[in-house]
Chain A
Amino acid sequence: MNKYLLSLFKNKSGIDLLIISLIIFVIFPLSMDIFRLNLVGKYLTFAFTSVGLVMLWGYGGILSLGQGIFFGIGGYCMAMFLKLEASDSVSTAHQTTPGIPDFMDWNQLTELPTFWMPFHSLTFTLFAIVGIPIIVAYIIGISMFKRRVSGVYFSIITQAIAAIVTILVVGQQGFTGGINGITDLKTLHGWNINTDSAKYILYYINGGLLILTVLVCKYVASTKLGRLLLAIRDKEDRVRFSGYDVANFKVFAFALSAVISSIGGAMFTLQVGFMSPSIIGIVPSIEMVIFAAIGGRMSLIGAIYGALLVNYGKTAFSESFPTLWLFFMGAMFIGVVMFFPEGLSGLYVSYAPKLKSWFEKKFIKDKSLTNSSVKRAG
């Protein structure tokens, strides 16, 4: 692993990683107020999902249209913990049943449901954020990949699961907060998350986790497993007839992308201060795919730029033309698929060297000009 880190900083991808780190850790915090920075922090939580999709879709060739489920698992786990902390018996004294979350009280629940109990513990919550998406992805993955469900069928089924989960969350208002989600979150282990300083700290934790995630993914991609994923994408049968149980590798990629999305979801809840079904359903799940597609589905760092740009566009555009945004995004997706299948990173790879040589030519020409003019003057 150490050798791997060293090698990273000798080649170009190390530089790309350094640039994005600079942008996240230095340029954004210096150039924005905390409101805008918090917004960027929110965009970056979506970048987790698109990084996960690069591994799953770009490398493994498996398109999941249900990554919102996993984003939601992380987000809801964190929100449940925060909500329980915000619902102590003092601040909920006016309720019929003090000590339970407010929405449960409105829904005539008189005691905390059993599955909420463990979320009193922060340790459990953190384990759940990592563990539950792995378990869910494992169950979905094994039941589909072992039966050789793949391609568009897998996409449709994951999309259906996203729809089912959303309907379930909305329908079970007493247990989940329904369509409003879980709101009014205050403290994390006694630490107020709504202050400016907390927002700065959370922004940096979020950025740090994101870069760490990219490093882990880069490592996985550099191992034999990464090459196997590419091989499965290209010639699944050849891999199977080379002695590999292909389904297990797909399950691994799916579970990896699930954990990454879940961490993003947890950071979303912490930074934005609520979690609701509108962030986990079909449309957000497709948006997550679009971030990855626009960033370039083979580029882990491109996925971050994709998430940042599209979300920025969404905010800027939907403020003035709220109804047009969906059409615009659809057009963008079609455009990328038709004309730039490698996304932004593909454009960067093919045009950056040309741009560089153009600059060099101009620069060297200017230099030779000045040299000759100096000579003439001399």
Chain B
Amino acid sequence: MAQILLAIEGLTVSFDGFKAVDDLNLYIEEKELRVIIGPNGAGKTTVLDLICGKTKATSGSIKFKDSELTKLPEYKLVQLGVGRKFQTPSIYENLTVFENLEISYPKGRNVFGALRFKRDDVVLNKIHEIADMIFLTELLEIQSGLLSHGQKQWLEIGMLLIQDPELLMLDEPVAGMSVVEREKTAELLNKIAKGRSLIVIEHDMEFVKQIAHRVSVLHQGKLLAEGSMESVQANPKVIEVYLGH
């Protein structure tokens, strides 16, 4: 059996008494591509917020390799190898695509390191390699605010890839993309999943079928079902609350 990379146990968070995530257990293996689905308000995004430290858990534990994530500040989590893409593309719109990738490059991460940081060949090669993967080689010098919605999504994925995280979390990566862009994104995700674990939140079932190794279904902050896409789609409980009749 493959190694467990991320182990979530008894995870609970309540906002003013409302339990957005309720006693959740979730295990992600190394190099696994997991898709989380579920109706609106199921707590999908909250789970990602909890893993990356944006929201603090009320109780429970999140273990990544040997570290307990619930006690670490966000930037330390990232340095351990946890990357998170937000639902709306979150890029630096006033900087060029190149500069966006450069800032994300994991070197010169403290104040004086950043002052001394140089664009050497290693950095340049890495930026070009990533730009190639995310289909933006031609647009490196463009101010990123001018990119299309889909291209912004790719750029943010690229900004995470350049940090080479072991666990990458993507919140609705194909939302607002055209059909062609969706296909390219599926291809991209399948490519990057080879070297790392991925957690993807997605609503588009066609897209989920293209990428998912396993699917977890969340409902009201709890795990409803888990397994292959076929088994989940055949599960009567899932049909009841989410997929519809």
B75 contacts the other chain (CB 8 A)? yes
The 8 A CB mask of B90-122 against A (1 = contact, 0 = none) is: 111111000100111010111100111100000
- Closest chain A residue to B116 by CB distance? A223
Beta-carbon contact of B115 and A238 below 8 Å:
no
Beta-carbon contact of A243 and B103 below 8 Å:
no
Closest CB-CB distance, B40 to chain A, in whole Å?
22
**Chain B residues within an 8 Å CB radius of A235:** 90-93
Contact of A242 among B110, B111, B115, B163 (CB under 8 A): B163
A244 contacts the other chain (CB 8 A)? yes
Contact of B92 among A234, A245, A246 (CB under 8 A): A234
Beta-carbon contact of B102 and A243 below 8 Å:
no
Beta-carbon contact of B109 and A223 below 8 Å:
no
B226 contacts the other chain (CB 8 A)? no
Chain A at the B interface: SS class? helix
A228 contacts the other chain (CB 8 A)? yes
B74 contacts the other chain (CB 8 A)? yes
Beta-carbon contact of B110 and A248 below 8 Å:
yes
| A249–B108 alpha-carbon span in the complex (Å) | 12
The 8 A CB mask of A248-286 against B (1 = contact, 0 = none) is: 110010000000000000000000000000000000000
B228 contacts the other chain (CB 8 A)? no
Beta-carbon contact of B75 and A244 below 8 Å:
yes
Beta-carbon contact of B111 and A227 below 8 Å:
no
Contact of A241 among B78, B91, B102, B115 (CB under 8 A): B78
**Chain B residues within an 8 Å CB radius of A241:** 52, 54, 74-75, 78, 83-84, 86
Closest CB-CB distance, A287 to chain B, in whole Å?
28
Q: Known interface pairs A224-B114, A227-B103. Does A238 touch B74 (Cβ–Cβ under 8 Å)?
A: no
| A225–B118 alpha-carbon span in the complex (Å) | 11
Contact of B95 among A223, A231, A243, A244 (CB under 8 A): A231
Interface size of B by CB at 8 A reads 32
Beta-carbon contact of A248 and B111 below 8 Å:
yes
| A228–B114 alpha-carbon span in the complex (Å) | 8
| A248–B114 alpha-carbon span in the complex (Å) | 11
A239 contacts the other chain (CB 8 A)? yes
A230 contacts the other chain (CB 8 A)? yes
From 184 to 240 in chain A, residues with beta carbon under 8 angstroms from any chain B beta carbon are 220, 223-225, 227-228, 230-231, 234-235, 237-240
Beta-carbon contact of A238 and B102 below 8 Å:
no
**Chain B residues within an 8 Å CB radius of A237:** 54, 86, 90
**Chain A residues within an 8 Å CB radius of B67:** none
B125 contacts the other chain (CB 8 A)? no
Beta-carbon contact of B114 and A249 below 8 Å:
yes
Beta-carbon contact of B94 and A243 below 8 Å:
no
Contact of B115 among A220, A240, A246 (CB under 8 A): A220
Beta-carbon contact of A245 and B95 below 8 Å:
no
**Chain A residues within an 8 Å CB radius of B117:** 223-225
Q: Known interface pairs A224-B114, A224-B117, A228-B114. Does A242 touch B104 (Cβ–Cβ under 8 Å)?
A: yes
**Chain B residues within an 8 Å CB radius of A240:** 74-75
- Closest chain A residue to B104 by CB distance? A242
Question: Could you say which of A235, A242, A245 has the most chain B C-beta atoms within 10 Å of its C-beta?
Answer: A242
Beta-carbon contact of B92 and A243 below 8 Å:
no
**Chain A residues within an 8 Å CB radius of B79:** 243
Q: Known interface pairs A227-B99, A231-B92. Does A243 touch B106 (Cβ–Cβ under 8 Å)?
A: yes
| A245–B109 alpha-carbon span in the complex (Å) | 8
Contact of B102 among A220, A224, A248, A249 (CB under 8 A): A224
| A235–B94 alpha-carbon span in the complex (Å) | 10
| A233–B182 alpha-carbon span in the complex (Å) | 31
Contact of B109 among A230, A234, A243 (CB under 8 A): A243
Contact of A249 among B78, B83, B111 (CB under 8 A): B111
| A243–B84 alpha-carbon span in the complex (Å) | 11
| A249–B110 alpha-carbon span in the complex (Å) | 8
Q: What are 14 A-B interface contacts by the 8 Å CB criterion? A: A224-B114, A224-B115, A227-B99, A228-B114, A235-B92, A238-B90, A242-B103, A243-B75, A244-B75, A244-B109, A245-B73, A245-B110, A249-B114, A252-B111
- Identify 19 new A-B residue pairs, CB closer than 8 A, beyond the known A230-B92, A238-B86, A243-B163: A223-B114, A223-B115, A224-B117, A225-B115, A227-B102, A228-B103, A234-B92, A238-B91, A240-B74, A241-B75, A241-B83, A241-B86, A242-B78, A242-B104, A243-B78, A244-B75, A245-B110, A248-B110, A249-B114
